[in-house]
């Protein structure tokens, strides 16, 4: 059983119409699925240093908001990404801020339209997309 004085670190929680509960466990870098009869399974296990922080349901599709949790306290470096999990358990990262132009704080990128995009821009954009999915 996972857990100790510092674990689990449960963050996001959503209940599907069928009563299934989805919970993010940031300490153990996983998404937990709890059925109405109490069966607990790990739906998604992330690789270090990614940590799940929230989940959103859109129909039968589960979206997971994850952050790059680097060992330091510089939260600007904690880049977000979104993972899509289908009902058959297939898990795919669909959007990663870290791979977008200018995502890293030390860099900025001039686009063809001469706009400069920063880490903050991509971070806010990704969170907006995620929360739109969560509220649908």
Q: For each of the domains in the chain, give its residue range(s) and CATH number, in order of start.
A: 10-96 (2.40.10.500)
DSSP single-letter state for residue 64: E
Longest dimension (CA), the chain: 56
| Model pLDDT, residue 37 | 97
Query: What are the tens digits of pLDDT across the range 50-97?
Result: 889 889 888 889 999 888 877 776 666 677 888 999 999 999 998 877
More confident residue, 126 or 90: 90
End-to-end CA distance of the chain: give it in Å, rounded.
Answer: 34
- Distant-in-sequence, close-in-space partners of 33: CB < 8 Å, separation ≥ 6: 20, 21, 22, 40, 41, 42, 43
- How many residues does the structure list for the chain? 136
Q: What SS3 state is found at 50?
A: strand
């Amino acid at each position: 059983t996972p857990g100790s004085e510092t674990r689990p670190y449960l963050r996001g929680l959503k209940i599907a119409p069928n009563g299934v509960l989805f919970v993010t466990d940031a300490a153990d870098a996983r998404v937990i699925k709890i059925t109405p009869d109490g069966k607990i399974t790990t739906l998604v296990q992330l690789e270090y240093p990614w940590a799940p922080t929230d989940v959103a349901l859109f129909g039968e599709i589960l979206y997971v908001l994850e952050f790059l949790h680097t060992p330091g306290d510089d939260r600007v470096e904690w880049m977000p990404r979104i993972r899509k999990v289908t009902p058959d358990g297939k898990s795919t990262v669909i959007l990663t801020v870290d791979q977008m132009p200018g995502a890293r704080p030390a860099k900025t990128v001039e686009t063809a339209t001469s706009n400069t995009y920063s880490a903050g821009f991509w971070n806010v954009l990704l969170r907006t997309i995620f929360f739109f999915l969560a509220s649908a």
